[in-house]
Structure 1
Amino acid sequence: MKILITPKSFKDYKAQTFPLLEELGYEIIANDTGKTFTEEEIIGLAGEQVVGIIVGVDPLTEKVLSRCRDLKAVSKYGVGVDNIDLKAAEKLGISVESAVGSNNISVAELAIALMFEAARKVSVLSANVKNGGWDRVQGIELTGKTIGVIGGGQIGREVAKRAKGLGMFVVLYDPYFNDSEFLRQYGIVLCDSLKAVLAMSDLISLHLPLTPETKYIINSDTLKLMKPSSILINTSRGELVDEESLYTALKEKRIAVAAQDVFSKEPPSPDEKLLKLDNFILTPHAGAYTAEAVERMALYSTQNLIRMLKH
């Protein structure tokens, strides 16, 4: 019985995790390539005798899952499962779980960091000084601003709590949210209209899974609702934003800044036109990449896999 482990950073915590699998008799196939696996590479490694996969962002499509004939369980190293064909997994009898609660704090803190970067342009100021300059760039305060948090899951909640701590007015949009005690405790307003939240907010922070309903939730029409001074933060999935429409909005100054940790194609092409804009910020999908979150993801995903395989 074999286990395939695809995430590149998982090896940093193999001392804590590999023995948990090995003592149960599993042989481990680890990713030592430093790269994300392709469909064919996964099939080549997991086509036979692999009963479990701990997966990062590698594609587990219907094609891949159907070719892994001994596969019983998939454990996501992280929370988002849009790289896994859940319908195919269900049809094939393959259990799937994600490491819920492992990285919500880390991603939320990066979202806040991107807000400060957009508001105060810290990297621009630092680069200017290191290049021999001493020019200041005027920023804005976050205190007193309205932030619209789109999505009230674990990460969205952590962002909302931290925004309140910064003295911001927090409006939450999530049609499935029903935790009135959380709203009362932190003084957060739940709004039932996405359009209203986009129109009233100085900052928008996206915390949604990628689904057919949420794809391109930020598009040419919704961007027109936002203030010209507004800041868009996206630490969820690149495909939540129509990048062509975002480029136009930023280029024409219809919104002030967009700061993202995600992109539709990662990494983007060096010729990507959004990267040429001064008011577009992109970090390399690093939201969950902290020592604490990576360790939790490794442990949670290993424990989840063991539990699924025991059933």
Structure 2
Amino acid sequence: MIKVLANDGIDKSAEEALKAAGCEVDTNHYDGAELIAKLKEVNAVVIRSATKLTAEIFEGINGGNLKLAIRAGVGIDNIDIPAGEKAGVTVTNTPSASSDSVAELALGHMFSVARHIGITNVTMREGKWEKKNYKGVELDGKTLGLIGFGRIARSLAKKAEALGMKVIYTDLLGKVAGYDQFKHCAKDDVLKDADFVSLHIPFDKQAGATIGSKEFAQMKDGVYLINCARGGVVDEAALITALDNGKVAAAGIDVFEKEPTDNTVLINHPKVSVTPHIGASTGEAQKRIGAEVVDLITNFSF
């Protein structure tokens, strides 16, 4: 019997499908030494954002039964892949299941910052009627610049195009075939020409933040920044400075350098729309992710 640990939970339909396939499924959450001990017992582990599978954890379970580690989502930056491979563990993810959900949240943040939806929710609940203070901008006719052009960015590009936005993008792999309606540009040109900049890239610990003081200086005055990708790709201190001096008109942020975040200055900033890393948190996405997890486990050679 294949033993599966879903350490950050899993959609009920996926849990039932795994059990129907003859798997034993544990949906409890474990940390530290308890997690290491549990991982030695199971054949597969499924995690989301809360669990970090570090080199120390993989070293601790080396020689155990674990053969497969699945990140139920797009990014795999919370799994030390080389350490996993060294321990004989295959590391994989569910890259396509949550694309539309994350793209819709990014679009939601774009509307929120363009029309002051987040801050006016706050001020009205404080008994204030500050209609004259919140003149917004329309998305129609604006240029959306995408840093990274993977599945999520492509989904967002199509939605933005339907709203009348011009979409430009940059990607390490160059121009992406089949998307000729969107203009591929150098990163510097995307930063320079975009009215809205949305990030769709992983965090590289060695390289550090992709967007910092230098990049903000390249952007238009009054640019809008959206980050539903990964914490760390934006230098939070540099972002706060750019918000304070008006370089950035507003920002929509779903991911943070530290999670749960303790950056109270950022999350309480009147020009920021914030959510607690909920890009993939829709019922539809979790069902798709769960189905992909089931396929990965049931088709794996343990």
Identity %: 34
**Structure 2: which 5+ residue stretches go unaligned?**
none
Correspondence for 2:78 among 77, 80, 83: 83
Shift of 1:23: 4.2
Shift of 1:146: 0.9
Q: How do 1:66-77 residues align onto structure 2 when only pairs under 5 Å count?
A: 66-68=59-61, 69-77=64-72
Look up the match of 1:211: 204
What letter corresponds to residue 211 of structure 2 in structure 1? I
Q: TM-score, normalised by structure 2?
A: 0.91
Residue 282 in 1 paired to residue 283 in 2?
no
Correspondence for 1:252 among 234, 237, 245: 245
Shift of 1:41: 3.6
Correspondence for 1:154 among 145, 151, 154: 151
Correspondence for 1:97 among 73, 92, 98: 92
Q: Check whether the contact 1:74–1:305 (CA below 8 A) recurs between aligned residues.
A: no
Aligned length: 296
Q: Check whether the contact 1:152–1:177 (CA below 8 A) recurs between aligned residues.
A: no
Measured at CA, do residues 128 and 275 of structure 1 come closer, stay the same or move farther in structure 2, by a change above 3 Å? closer
Pick which of 272-281 and 115-124 moved more: 272-281
Shift of 1:275: 2.4
Q: How do 1:256-267 residues align onto structure 2 when only pairs under 5 Å count?
A: 256-267=249-260
Shift of 1:306: 2.2
Look up the match of 1:194: 187
What letter corresponds to residue 17 of structure 2 in structure 1? L
**Structure 1: which 5+ residue stretches go unaligned?**
none
Q: Check whether the contact 1:39–1:60 (CA below 8 A) recurs between aligned residues.
A: no
Q: Check whether the contact 2:147–2:170 (CA below 8 A) recurs between aligned residues.
A: yes
- In 2, Cα distance between equivalents of 1:214 and 1:168: 31
Look up the match of 2:8: 7
Q: Check whether the contact 1:199–1:227 (CA below 8 A) recurs between aligned residues.
A: yes
What letter corresponds to residue 241 of structure 1 in structure 2? V
Look up the match of 2:166: 169
- In 2, Cα distance between equivalents of 1:3 and 1:181: 39
Shift of 1:151: 0.7
Shift of 1:24: 4.6
- The alignment partner of 2:167 has SS state of strand
Q: How do 1:45-124 residues align onto structure 2 when only pairs under 5 Å count?
A: 45-47=38-40, 49-57=41-49, 58-68=51-61, 69-124=64-119
- The alignment partner of 1:294 has SS state of helix
Measured at CA, do residues 215 and 161 of structure 1 come closer, stay the same or move farther in structure 2, by a change above 3 Å? farther
- In 2, Cα distance between equivalents of 1:53 and 1:2: 9
What letter corresponds to residue 264 of structure 1 in structure 2? E
Q: Check whether the contact 2:119–2:271 (CA below 8 A) recurs between aligned residues.
A: no
- The alignment partner of 2:43 has SS state of strand
Q: Check whether the contact 1:104–1:158 (CA below 8 A) recurs between aligned residues.
A: yes
Measured at CA, do residues 274 and 124 of structure 1 come closer, stay the same or move farther in structure 2, by a change above 3 Å? closer
Q: Deviations over 1:173-224 (max 9, x none)?
A: 10204433222xxx21000x21111011111000012224763000111111
- In 2, Cα distance between equivalents of 1:101 and 1:66: 30
Q: Deviations over 1:10-32 (max 9, x none)?
A: 2xx32x2234333454322212x
What letter corresponds to residue 108 of structure 1 in structure 2? A
Q: TM-score, normalised by structure 1?
A: 0.89
Measured at CA, do residues 275 and 74 of structure 1 come closer, stay the same or move farther in structure 2, by a change above 3 Å? same
- In 1, Cα distance between equivalents of 2:271 and 2:16: 47
